[in-house]
Amino acid sequence: MTRKIEKTDAEWRAQLSPEEYQVTRQKGTERAYTGRYWDCHEAGQYKCTCCGAELFSSEHKFDSGCGWPSFYAPAAPENVEEAVDRSHFMVRTEVLCHNCGAHLGHVFEDGPAPTGLRYCINSVSVKLDQDSDAGTEAPDKP
């Protein structure tokens, strides 16, 4: 697949913090309940840490109890892609940024209506761009 944004490993390392690089470029994960957004209720758009592409909205965020930010749908489906992940002796569906290939997390079929999906996303893979009315809290349930 051709990416809109192609950078060398050295360019990514220079741009990202060590943790951001490990998760987004090396398909790592942050520990549960440690990321800055797992319990965030602020309104806004979650954008890719690496390229700034719009990925998820606080309108689709819910508390799944898993320790990572969870969304029942992407805000911009064209900016999110999925791939089969066979690591760690299991088969999961990996979620990637379509624009730059950043590893975001995984999607599972145990989410709420209306989609039944749970996009389990690493906080370091995204940055919250708060809406102009930043005092508004995002909903906890769809």
Q: What is the pLDDT of residues 73-89, one digit of tens each?
A: 999 999 999 988 888 78
For the chain, the straight-line distance linking the first and the last C-alpha, in angstroms and rounded, comes to 33
What percent of the chain shows pLDDT beyond 70?
89
The whole-number average pLDDT for the span 57-63 is: 96
- Residues serving a catalytic function are 120
Asked if the structure places residue 141 within a domain, the reply is: no
pLDDT in tens, 81-132: 998 888 878 888 999 999 999 999 999 999 999 999 999 999 999 999 996 4
What percent of the chain shows pLDDT beyond 90?
79
Query: Residue type at 16?
Result: L
Note down the domain range covering 45: 9-130
Asked if the structure places residue 30 within a domain, the reply is: yes
Asked if the structure places residue 96 within a domain, the reply is: yes
Total structural domains within the chain:
1
Task: Give the mean pLDDT of the chain.
Answer: 90
Residue 85's pLDDT is what?
85
DSSP 49-108: TTT--EEEEGGGEE--SSSS-EESS-SSGGGEEEEEE-GGGS-EEEEEETTT--EEEEEE
